[in-house]
Chain A
């Protein structure tokens, strides 16, 4: 089997293959719905309706997409440089912890000053969490996949300790949760009266900023060069290790914003279930977007929609919500393959 590059793919190939991937995903989901004893058309209809069928549903989807945009961006930035940051989950929680520490009375500032200060501090915390693994990589050659992944567990256990100990809410009736943020530290609603908060706006801005960094700045140029061919980058005099450190700071900071926005925009306090794996789902989001920062916004909304839609469908049709995970996994596999096939042709023999 050989792969032949295609210089100028036809429109049919360019749009037909991703469409076919989507169709295959839907087909597999339908079969699963059948197995669960439900009508596949109803099931899929309920998912779409649950994700985008009403203003409420749509805003719920965008709310759910917000942390995924941040973690998706964090992963996309790092993967561009072939820095395999699997630890967005840990960086997210680092951002959340700092948000709670500073937002529960440690700082008394007017809201327009307090919120940016907290956001920046959260970013710094996330950046520092990733700095350790990346220095181990550049100085000692330790594989960052292992260190960043394991850091997630260290961080979760650390949070668990904090919530049972120093950060435990004295008014929490014994539940392992932190005190709630002051009003001044809370992100305002994006639209008055609706649940969507400014975190979503911040996520869109972050995506735009990352897009500009990648395309317009020397740092973006360096990140792409290091990711595509580290030997050529080193030979050409690009300071590879410094670029990796900068990438890590950016990636960790972005992931931390997910924690900041979830605490300050939505939950108001820190619990151990703040993130149902947003750090890991960020990898799916980034891969589906082919690491394009603007694509991350679209794919995060798609992924959030599948989760929100499946939740609501599950309540109505009695099909387990696991179908959401299967849908996403299938979508990722088929879509990545389809997009690859728009660029190469497979020759057998």
Chain B
């Protein structure tokens, strides 16, 4: 496969199998990586991508099979050996020390404990050269804590290059980047392969895989189900391979928006630790409209979600609901006002993992009839309600008395969705509603949100995935450091134009980021 089979093989996986109990995470996976190519590793959540890379990097030991790097067998279960052999990994979640400088982070772990000094001067020169060669602009003496997400990723890559990595593994590297930062990352990768490095690019974003890779390996249920040259395929066929079935993404039809159901005028909220609050936000959520909120994570999305969800109150400015709510603002008041909430972190705030499906289904409404009367729970009614949600929202589970911990993320999310949508809400706050879900579940959740919008609900969709925002939203706002851009009508802006806003340009009186 691939354009030049003649190129040197730098990495060879031979029939790797890894089992976790009854689950086979990797099933006789074999492939070869050549010098100077970017190979895409594509697969849904749970397809076995991360397990495979953890085996390669020595975090796990394979049950069967072997790994060869530059023709030499790699001892299993030894990250140090993997590093020594020239494998560098950039994780989805960065592993940097915020309180150290860029240079110190790069040097961390490369020096013997017994040698005094870090050899900063030599190291600084080398980092400078690597930065220039690979197009990784970052100041070596900047504190990591003060860097943007894109810059931190550059530090991670520099860290790997500094250790003479010849093989770079990038795990979902674009999940946290703006479109511009993604383009810059791709430039770096092109420079790297031109200099003879090899890259494994792990992703579930088809567009990016089509752009940057030369070959694509598709994993499904732990097996390699496809290996194609990127030039010979397209997004649609890759999606089909990844899911194993025909995929059609739901699309909202044009619709005239109705009256505003929730309006914010000049709302500010306080910062919470590292998470910025809102700074003078004006926003209208209209009936029958999906409002998309784009932005790099950590720019005030949590504050806005907290405000609308009832966890946070405006410090200054006003929030107006239609019909008006007279209770003190709280989650219960929000629910009473007909606001449905799909939380960002379903495990942390969405469900009680050790509660049953039925208990989780009534977590927001247990206090009202018919689920309880005068303080007594009505379990038969609760079970019936849960059974109905399970049925209507296609939650795959053994039954309402199953502990929800045992469900997959997608099924958990369907229960949360059902719980939120069942009362027929007027406003829907969907915060990262499809994060970590497989394509089938994504399609389902999106279809439900569109159906709710068509039924007249005002939907606020918060997502870090610009493609998702652009596909579903009637109006798009960009959030940056707690400020909100004006609303942009559907299809009035390109991803690149939105990316400019996501990087902080265009906001009146804003400190512009680099």
Give the B-binding residues of A (Cβ under 8 A): 4-5, 7, 216-221, 224-225, 228-229, 231-239, 345, 349
| B349 & A232 in contact (Cβ 8 Å cutoff) | yes
Q: In the complex, are the beta carbons of A232 and B351 less than 8 A apart?
A: yes
**Is the interface on chain B under 10, 10 to 19, 20 to 34, or 35 or more residues?**
20 to 34
Complex contacts, B406 vs chain A, CB 8 Å = 5, 7
Rounded to whole Å, the gap between the CB of A1 and the closest CB of chain B is 13
Instruction: Give Cα A220 to B361, complex, Å.
Output: 16
Contacts A4-B20, A218-B377; A237 near B364 (Cβ below 8 A): yes
CB neighbours (8 Å) of B441 from chain A are none
> Known: A7-B406, A237-B332. Contact between A217 and B352, CB under 8 A?
no
Q: How far is the CA of A349 from the CA of B61 in the complex (A)?
A: 8
Residue of A nearest to B398 (CB): A7
Residue of A nearest to B20 (CB): A4
Contact of A235 among B61, B343, B376 (CB under 8 A): B343
Residues of B within 8 A of A219 (CB): 375
Inter-chain contacts of B348 with A (CB < 8 A): 229, 231-232
Q: List 28 A-B contacts (CB under 8 A).
A: A4-B21, A216-B376, A216-B379, A217-B377, A218-B366, A218-B375, A218-B376, A221-B372, A224-B352, A225-B352, A228-B352, A228-B353, A228-B354, A228-B355, A231-B349, A232-B349, A232-B350, A233-B363, A235-B343, A236-B331, A237-B330, A237-B331, A237-B332, A237-B335, A237-B364, A238-B363, A345-B21, A349-B77
Chain A interface mostly: helix
Q: CB within 8 A of A234: which of B311, B334, B377? A: B311
In the complex, per-residue mask of B61-101: 1 if CB is within 8 Å of any chain A CB, else 0: 10000000000000001000000000000000000000000
Interface presence of B260 (CB below 8 A): no
Considering the complex, give the chain B residue whose CB is closest to the CB of A212. B376
Per the bound structure, the CA–CA distance linking A114 and B439 in Å amounts to 68
B367 interfacial by beta-carbon distance below 8 Å: yes
- Total A-B residue pairs with C-beta atoms closer than 8 Å? 73
- Interface status of B359 (Cβ within 8 A of chain A): yes
- Asked if residues A229 and B353 are in contact (CB atoms below 8 Å), the reply is yes
Given contacts A228-B352, A228-B353, whether A236 and B363 have CB atoms under 8 Å apart is yes
A235 and B331 contact, CB distance less than 8 A:
yes
A325 to chain B, nearest CB (A): 32
Q: B310 touching A237 by the CB < 8 A rule?
A: yes
CB distance from B148 to the nearest CB of A (A): 28
Q: Say yes or no: A235-B352 contact (C-beta < 8 A), given A4-B21, A217-B376.
A: no
CB-CB under 8 A from B367, the residues of chain A are 218
A235 and B332 in contact, given A4-B20, A218-B375 (Cβ under 8 angstroms): no
Residues of A within 8 A of B335 (CB): 237
Residues of A within 8 A of B77 (CB): 349
Neighbouring B residues of A349 by C-beta, 8 Å: 61, 77
**B309 interface contact, C-beta 8 A:** yes
Q: State the Cβ distance, A8 to closest chain B Cβ, in Å.
A: 11
Please indicate the chain A residues that have their CB under 8 angstroms from the CB of B352 in the complex: 224-225, 228-229, 232-233
A235 touches B341 (CB 8 A): yes
- CB-based contact B364/A236 at 8 Å: yes
Of chain A, the residue at the smallest CB distance from B343 is: A235
Inter-subunit contact A218/B364 (CB<8 Å): no
Given contacts A4-B20, A225-B352, contact A232 B363 (CB under 8 A): yes
